[in-house]
A = this chain, B = another copy of it.
Amino acid sequence: MSTSQRHGHSDTRKRLLEATEWLFIEGGYEAMSLRHITARAGANLAAVNYHFGSKEALMQEVLTQRLDRLNRERLQLLSVCEQENPGGLDATTVLGMLFVPAFRLSHGSTSGPAFMRLLGRVYSDPSPFIRSYLQEHYRPISGRFFEAFSRALPALPRHELGLRLHFALKALSGMLAGEDMQELIASISKGEAINDAELLARLISLISPILTAPFGNPEQTQLIDRVLQLDHHTAVTSEEPAATPPHEARDLLGDQQWIKEGRLAS
């Protein structure tokens, strides 16, 4: 309204952004071609390069639009809570500060619950462009939250904390990106509509143990023994048939099939 389209009667820009966001959510960056985008937006192929300059610039616009506010709120929330609790925060609370703004934006503004899926995609997309975008734009707040976690979990060496955070975030993003997520949420709260805060608490309570689990606990040595015991079982039974390519016997373990199993069985 103000700067760019003084003349012209086009919401093409907006439609392109929306189409891009959708296709990115559905299939990730690589699977989202300019021809698909423009077709979905009802625009010409050249419109993208006219309005944004390139495919990457388009995507960057989408990401910036959606993620900047989210992370500003996260950072701000962390600062406020740190001021109010000089005694220090526990890890679960810090974790919550990563989640709460996301959920607020998710069902607060436009685009509704798709926002969570976008979050999942952007964190798990393998495209180099997406990766480098995240690394460039998110470094400072990353450090801030790392420090917050480190203060909340002083017993954890920094290496171990890094490992666990990596682990937790991978799990979370893989979770949110999947289209199964929606069904899962729906199936857990079978019948009555689940409270948003309750769902939030559920997710946090799943991730929290990854961070708060004791480090170097005695139980671990027991576990090692048990593992070695299991190892002997396998060693006895198979013993390396060396070069015998097994071309049959293809009844194996299948990825996310867990969910459907769980759903149809009860």
Complex partner residue of A92 from B136, B213, B223, B250, CB under 8 angstroms? B223
A219 CA / B212 CA spacing, docked (Å)? 14
Q: Which of A34-42, A48-56, A238-246 lines the interface with chain B?
A: A238-246
Q: Which residues of B contact A131 (CB under 8 A)?
A: 255
Residue contact B169 to A135, C-beta cutoff 8 Å: no
**A98 at interface by CB-CB < 8 Å:** yes
**A88 at interface by CB-CB < 8 Å:** no
Residue contact A170 to B170, C-beta cutoff 8 Å: yes
**A143 at interface by CB-CB < 8 Å:** yes
What is the count of identical protomers in the complex?
A: 2
Residue contact B166 to A252, C-beta cutoff 8 Å: no
**A10 at interface by CB-CB < 8 Å:** no
Residue contact B230 to A100, C-beta cutoff 8 Å: yes
Residue contact B126 to A72, C-beta cutoff 8 Å: no
Q: Which residues of B contact A75 (CB under 8 A)?
A: 251-253
Nearest-neighbor residue (CB-CB) of A101 within chain B: B234
**A106 at interface by CB-CB < 8 Å:** no
Q: A72-B252, A209-B213 are in contact. Are A227 and B142 (CB under 8 A)?
A: no
Residue contact A162 to B73, C-beta cutoff 8 Å: no
**A67 at interface by CB-CB < 8 Å:** yes
Complex partner residue of A234 from B67, B77, B187, CB under 8 angstroms? B77
Complex partner residue of A159 from B188, B220, B227, CB under 8 angstroms? B188
Q: A166-B180, A224-B198 are in contact. Are A234 and B139 (CB under 8 A)?
A: no
Residue contact A257 to B135, C-beta cutoff 8 Å: yes
A221-263 with Cβ < 8 A to chain B: 221, 223-224, 226-228, 230-231, 233-235, 237-238, 240, 245-247, 249-263
Residue contact B213 to A205, C-beta cutoff 8 Å: yes
Q: Which residues of B contact A164 (CB under 8 A)?
A: 206
Q: Which residues of B contact A135 (CB under 8 A)?
A: 254-255, 257
**A129 at interface by CB-CB < 8 Å:** no
Q: Which residues of B contact A259 (CB under 8 A)?
A: 162-163, 165-166
Residue contact B233 to A77, C-beta cutoff 8 Å: yes
10 A-B residue pairings within 8 Å (CB atoms) = A96-B226, A137-B254, A139-B254, A141-B251, A163-B262, A164-B206, A165-B259, A165-B262, A171-B171, A205-B223
